[in-house]
Structure formats: C-alpha cells, structure tokens
Amino acid sequence: MLKIDQSETKLYPSADTERRKNRLLPQAVLLGLLTGSVSVLFHLAMDSAEAFRNSFLAFARQNTESGPWLIMGLIVIGLVFAVGVIRWLAPEACGSGIPHIKAILIGRRHFRWLRVLIAKFFSMLIGGVAGLVVGRAGPCVHMGSAIGQWLANLWPNKKNTDHLILVAAGGGAGLTAAFNAPLSGLTFVLEELERRCSTLEFFTAAIACLTADMVCRAVLGQQPAFHFDNFTTPPLNLLIAFLPLGILSALLGSLFTRSLLWGQRLTTLPLWPKWFWWITLTILLTVTAWKTPELLGGGHNFVNEILEGRQLPLETIALFFIGRFVLTIACSCSGAAGGIFMPVLVLGALLGWAVGVAIQLLFPELNVDSKLFAVVGMAAYFSGVVQAPLTAIVLIIEMTSNYSLILPLFIACFTALLIANWLGNPPVYEALLENDLRKDRI
C-alpha cells in the first residue's frame, strides 16, 4: 500500500501559519492605509507640478524669441535639483526603484527607507515640473516598500521572512495606488517581486492592496485610469491580427531593454562628462517642449487622447513612438527618480495604434478599430519588456474596466513573451538588478 507523508499533504494551514497571519493582518491594513495616503499626496503633488509645467510652457510658447530659453532654464534647474536630491539623500532611489526592492528581497541590499521615501517623492515632484519622461508607478512601488520596511522595523522581533513579506506587500500596494488596480498590485507581487504564492505572501499583499485601493478611491474617485467607450468583443476572425502586434512588441521590447541597459552607463560617468550628457538631455527636452509638449511627462493624458479618438497619420505615430522611445531611455538614465512603467505602456499604445492604422490601410474591409489595438498594445509591449504577462493583462482590464478584450490580450501578451524568451531577452527589472549587482563584483 502506498504510504503518504502527512506532513507534505496538509489540507489546512498550520497553527504557526495562522498565528503569523493574525499578526500580519493589522500590519497589512496599516501598510495599505499609509501607502494609499502617501500615494494620494504624491498624485496630487504630481498633478500640481504638471499643471504648473503646462501653464509655464503655454506662456513661454507665446514668445518665439525668449520662449525656448525660458523653457531650457526651467528644465536645467529642474534636472539639476531632481538629480541632486537623489545624489544627496539616497543614490539607490535613482530610477524606478523596483530593482532595488528585488535586491532587498534576496538579501543583497539594505533599505534606508526614510531617505528613499523623501528622495523619491521630491525628485519625482521636481522632475515633473521639468517634464522628465518618467512614470509614477515605479516610484509608488518603491515608496510603498519603504513604508513596509518602516513597519517591519517597528516589530524587530518578527521573523525575517515576515519583514520581507511587508516590503513586497508595500510594493504591491504602491502599484495598486498608482493605477486604482488592486488585482494588478497583487499579481505584480506574486509574478515579479516574490515569484511565489505562499499563503502569507498572498494574504498580506491582498489586504495591503485592497486597503490602499480603498484610500485612493475615497479621495481620488473610482473612475478607471483610461476613459473611453467600451469596445465590443472582437470577432474571432480578427484575433490573428494580434499576432504581429505581439511579435513587434517582443522585438521592440528587446530593443528597449538593451538600450536601457546601455544607457545605465551614463549614470556612472564622472562629473564633467555627466554634465555634457545632462546638457544633451536638456536640449532634447527643450526641443520636445517647444514642438510637441504632449510627449513630455508620464504620458497618461496622451494615452487618453489616443483612446478618445485622436487621429494622426501613420508616419506621425511612428515619429511619436521614436521620440518617446528616445526620451524614455534618456530620462531613465538621467540619475533622477522615475519609473518606466507608464512610459512603457505609452510606447505600447503608440505601437498598437500604428499596427491598427496599418491594418486599416491594408485591409479596409476588416473595419478594425485602431483604439482597440492601442489598448492591447499597452499590455503586449509591457509583456515584451517586463515579461510579466499576467500583470499586464490584469492591469489593462482594471485600467479600462473592460473584460471583453481578454482574448486579444492573451494572444498578444503571450506571443510577446514567447518571442522575447526565444530571443534570449531578459526581463527588464531582472536585467537592471543584475546590472546593479555586477558593480559589487567589480
């Protein structure tokens, strides 16, 4: 008779697991409340910074002679202070911060939570005034994890694994607060940060994400992140059109990752060569602010314009993609705080929009909606870059409040993932983590 080891086939949680769960419950609720509150303050501050920038640009563009110099002055001051805050308080707060969290979770870095929290908040705020092409989501994740570390420090006698659970759950709560997307925050913790699904990780992250989402919805409203008329379910004979979108997402996602890794060298330059790089970045941002200011910033409003029916020729869409691609890489390598989460979604929207317009031109009888391809393109490109397809799918469903896109999302996202794996392209956050840890071996 086959003997079964009862210790390996427990149907119910152990008493120790239940005790730890009860201990983590109030901490998870408090973590969600604090992360949600900080994120609300962060969103309101960033909205004010972007409103000031838009008003300043509108004023400066009225004067063709002094306007470009005024814009350049604003960008120079903003860039210097955004980078200076990071260099002075917490160099590890540079960029999105997600690779730093991953390093902490594997025991390779310490978390100076207060310095990171302050540096991240104010560097992003100053960068928002300057128009840096970076996103809010990564910094929200980093700040949420910083709050998780602080709560872990309040209970120093807890197991080290409980401390790591709070750090990871704080990151999920931060992503939740960034997009009003609690399931996405939970999925991100399990798929990207922890990559395991034990009862305690799931329980703590779920409670923190839910609580943070309630705080954000109570203050900022319950509307989805993107506003547009709901799509009808695409016909089955159109699903094959999402395969080339997935393939292109993988190819251009690989280019994005490799360009970003190459650009990270710029953050380690000596001071004087770095000043030359900052001047080059300032010129790029100034020209963009003068010609096409809608390409600056995180890009949330720009995506909403696409989904609300903005019309552009295919050539212009391609130029916008190239422009945002270059600016995203450049700003991410400036040395200031800033995520790539939203900029990657913007690039995906532009790529999907371009594919949709191209299909309209080549096969007008299909009568495709290019906005549908823009939505799916966001998830597909995210899958090609981050290689977290479940997070991408759940995020887009939550951000659009539209479940009818599930089949196109699965086809495009997993096509992008398979092609990216076939190309040997590493997930971007894993690659950035390895790039950071490599410095320890030099």
Say yes or no to pLDDT of 1 above 50. Answer: no
Q: What is the pLDDT of residue 271?
A: 73
Tell me, yes or no, if the two domains 23-220 and 236-431 fold the same way.
yes
Write out the H or E segment, with its range, that includes residue 241. none
pLDDT of residue 183: 92
Instruction: Write down the mean pLDDT value for the chain.
Output: 88
Question: In this predicted structure, what is the pLDDT of residue 231?
Answer: 67
- Range 247-253 average pLDDT: 96
Residue 285: phi, psi to the nearest 5? -70, -35
> Would you give the end-to-end CA distance of the chain in angstroms?
57
Q: For residues 362 and 317, is the Cβ–Cβ distance under 8 A?
A: no
pLDDT tens, residue by residue, 197-206 = 677 888 899 9
* Per-residue confidence (pLDDT) for residue 8, from 0 to 100: 41
| Average pLDDT over every residue of 170-183 | 92
Q: Which pLDDT belongs to residue 157?
A: 58
> Could you tell me the residue ranges of all domains in the chain?
23-220, 236-431
Q: What is the pLDDT of residues 201-240, one digit of tens each?
A: 888 999 999 999 999 999 988 887 777 666 677 788 888 9
- pLDDT category at 122 given cuts 50, 70, 90 is very high
pLDDT tens digits, 348-382:
999 999 999 999 899 888 888 888 999 999 999 99
3-state SS class at 235: coil
CATH architecture classification, 23-220:
Orthogonal Bundle (1.10)
State if pTM tops 0.75. yes
Specify the residue for token string 């290019």: 370
The CATH number assigned to the domain with range 236-431 reads 1.10.3080.10
Q: What's the rounded Cα separation, in Å, for the pair 402 and 390?
A: 16
Ranking 45-49, 184-188, 242-246, 366-370 by mean pLDDT, the lowest is: 366-370
- What pLDDT score was predicted for residue 4? 40
Q: Which helix (H) or strand (E) holds 82?
A: helix 67-89
Using CA atoms, how far residue 103 sits from 124, 188, 293, 431, in Å, is 22, 16, 36, 12
Predicted confidence at residue 402, as pLDDT, reads: 81
Q: Count CB neighbours of 69 within 10 A.
A: 12
pLDDT at 383 over 90: yes
User: pLDDT digit string (tens) for 238-249?
Assistant: 889 899 999 999
pLDDT of residue 195: 61
Q: What percent of the chain has pLDDT over 90?
A: 62
Confidence of residue 65 (pLDDT cuts 50, 70, 90): confident
